[in-house]
């Protein structure tokens, strides 16, 4: 069926290249309008008026608009509740169908169901497509016909089933885009102020062009990914593409197409990309994980951690250098290295004995690349409450982790300048330094830098007992 006029609704897919919904819309329609809706239901929950994610979206949309204007078209932007805005705009444009890529978050699924019902009531079709994952449930299932709960067999099945047809480029027919003449009457002015937000600084460039550039740069370094990915002090040790994947300024298919060789670095990176699919499936099929533990018995744990300790963790003032460095860098940039995410999450839950949900919520507030599925999955993995979780009796030692993955203390010294006077060996644990060593380093412990809030070995035993109580 060919529609006369259609609307393509962008959400987590802020790009023109390799966009499934846009591809189908332009193939199945004579004229296609493109819209992005700033969802006030989401915006009103953001606590920081300089939220970096809003800035990233705004810059990405501006680039999209510029690219479309080159093609004699443009982007429509609306601010409001999509349940109202999409049907209203669809009627205003007199479209026959709305095209969109699927989202697997509980809120998004409910939203799309309501939008589709209102559209259908007005005689307008709602077409949704798989785009942000390679496989969605039930394309990959266990031998029992159920969603996988463990990553490795999921990954093996994923690799077994993945073929060229799953990662093919979704070509867009730009000739079908609505002309400026048709679009201009429907354009409204918008800005940071109309959104109720302020522009913030970003540690990376936003937009589709920047995503392609970052991938190109990573391709030069990917062979070293296996060796470098665990060291936060190595500037290009990871791809930095998680933000672009989250907002869809680059497609997952494009990234998978770039991994088709057997280099160990490339294979390791591919494995990380498969984790994204896995966590999306978990969220889609087990939505209780948003508020509860995947392992339901773990909801019996009464976390005894102190609010004061949680606040010190947020501020990067725990007295554990690698933890504090990671959190200070995170608060400053909205970015955290994946190795550090595991270490700080383990520290909060296993050393400070604070409920993982508090840490997850802090990350949800601050992460530029925040993705509900990945954030929840990662936190529950670290807390030993999730699917395929880290066994509860394996607890990261923050000092050992510091020595292993920041061997020269360069990451620590970069973010905690008060410790920069200590030697590379001492900076991992300055608390053993005598008064003369502290004087030489111009850092007195308990003054310029805090004493440790807890003793790791003591807290480790307490954490194990907490889990034993619900596991037996």
pLDDT in tens, 112-123: 999 999 999 999
pLDDT for 124 equals 98
Q: How many angstroms separate the Cα of 139 from the Cα of each of 23, 105, 135, 162?
A: 22, 18, 6, 10
| pTM for this prediction | 0.97
Q: How many angstroms separate the Cα of 59 from the Cα of each of 192, 194, 202, 204, 307?
A: 11, 15, 10, 11, 37
pLDDT above 90 (res 389): no
| CATH code given to domain 296-471 | 1.10.579.10
pLDDT for 382 equals 96
Identify whether the C-beta of residue 218 lies closer than 8 Å to the C-beta of residue 240.
yes
Q: What angle do CA 293, 299, 305 make, to 5 degrees?
A: 105
pLDDT for 57 equals 98
- The C-alpha atoms of residue 462 and residue 449 are separated, in whole angstroms, by 26
Q: How confident is the model at residue 147 (pLDDT cuts 50, 70, 90)?
A: very high
132-168+209-285 topology per CATH: 1.25.40
Q: How far apart are the first and last CA of the chain?
A: 59
Active-site amino acid positions: 272, 275, 303, 338, 356, 379
pLDDT for 92 equals 98
Whether the domain at 132-168+209-285 and the domain at 296-471 fall into the same CATH topology? no
Percent of the chain with pLDDT over 70: 100
| CATH code given to domain 1-131 | 3.40.50.620
pLDDT above 90 (res 29): yes
pLDDT digits (tens, 9 = 90+) for 65-95: 999 999 999 999 999 999 999 999 999 999 9
pLDDT for 446 equals 96
Looking at residue 391, the DSSP 8-state letter turns out to be P
Mean per-residue pLDDT, 44-66: 98
Percent of the chain with pLDDT over 90: 96
- The C-alpha atoms of residue 349 and residue 359 are separated, in whole angstroms, by 8
- The C-alpha atoms of residue 155 and residue 157 are separated, in whole angstroms, by 5
Alpha carbons within 13 angstroms on the beta-carbon side of residue 220 total 5
- The C-alpha atoms of residue 327 and residue 443 are separated, in whole angstroms, by 20
Looking at residue 445, the DSSP 8-state letter turns out to be B
The residues spanned by each domain of the chain are 1-131, 132-168+209-285, 296-471
pLDDT above 80 (res 472): no
What DSSP string runs through 122-173? Answer: TT-EEEEE--S-S--TTSS--TTSS--SSHHHHHHHHHHH--GGGS------
Q: How confident is the model at residue 461 (pLDDT cuts 50, 70, 90)?
A: very high
Mean pLDDT of the chain: 97
Q: Which of 212, 277, 165, 180 is nearest to 17 (CA)?
A: 212
- The C-alpha atoms of residue 370 and residue 296 are separated, in whole angstroms, by 24
pLDDT for 221 equals 86
| Chain position carrying tokens 């949900």 | 357
């Amino acid at each position: 069926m060919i529609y006369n006029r259609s609307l393509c609704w962008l959400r987590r897919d802020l790009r023109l290249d390799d966009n499934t919904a846009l591809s189908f819309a332009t193939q199945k329609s004579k004229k296609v309008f493109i819209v992005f809706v700033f969802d006030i239901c989401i915006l009103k929950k953001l606590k920081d008026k300089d939220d970096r994610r809003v800035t990233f979206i705004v810059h990405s949309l501006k680039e999209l608009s510029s690219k479309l204007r080159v093609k004699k078209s443009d982007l429509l932007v609306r601010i409001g509740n999509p349940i109202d805005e999409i049907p209203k705009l669809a009627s205003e444009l007199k479209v026959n169908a709305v095209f969109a890529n699927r989202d697997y978050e509980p809120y998004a699924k409910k939203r799309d169901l309501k939008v589709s019902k209102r559209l259908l009531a007005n005689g307008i079709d709602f077409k949704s497509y798989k785009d942000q994952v390679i496989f969605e449930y039930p394309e990959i299932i266990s031998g029992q016909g159920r969603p996988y709960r463990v990553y490795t067999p999921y990954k093996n099945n994923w690799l077994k089933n993945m073929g060229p047809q799953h990662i093919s480029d979704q070509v867009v027919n730009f000739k079908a885009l609505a002309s400026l003449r048709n679009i201009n009457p429907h354009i409204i002015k918008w800005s940071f102020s109309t959104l109720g937000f302020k522009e913030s600084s970003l540690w990376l460039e936003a937009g589709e062009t920047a995503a392609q550039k970052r991938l190109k740069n990573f391709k030069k370094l990917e062979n070293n990914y296996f060796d470098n990915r665990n060291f936060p002090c190595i500037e290009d040790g990871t791809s930095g593409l998680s933000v672009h994947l989250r907002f869809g300024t680059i497609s997952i298919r494009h990234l998978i197409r770039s991994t088709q060789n057997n280099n160990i670095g490339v294979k390791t990176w591919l494995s990380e990309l498969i984790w994204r699919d896995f966590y999306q499936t978990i969220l889609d099929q087990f939505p209780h994980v948003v508020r509860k533990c995947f392992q339901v018995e773990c909801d019996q744990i009464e976390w005894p951690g102190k609010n004061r300790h949680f606040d010190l963790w947020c501020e990067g003032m725990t007295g554990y250098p690698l933890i504090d460095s990671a959190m200070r860098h995170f608060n400053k940039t909205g970015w955290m290295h994946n190795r550090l995410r595991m270490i700080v999450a383990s520290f909060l839950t296993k050393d400070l004995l604070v409920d993982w949900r508090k840490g997850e919520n802090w990350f949800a507030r601050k992460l530029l690349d925040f993705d509900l599925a990945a954030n929840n999955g990662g936190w529950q993995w670290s807390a030993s409450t999730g699917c395929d979780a880290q066994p509860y009796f394996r607890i990261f030692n923050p000092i050992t982790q510091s020595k292993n993955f920041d061997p020269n203390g360069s990451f620590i010294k970069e973010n905690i300048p008060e410790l920069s006077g200590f030697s590379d060996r001492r900076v991992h644990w300055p608390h053993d330094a005598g008064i003369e060593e502290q004087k030489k380093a111009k850092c007195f412990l308990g003054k310029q830098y805090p004493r440790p809030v807890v003793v790791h070995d003591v807290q480790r035993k307490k954490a194990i007992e907490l889990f034993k109580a619900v596991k037996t």
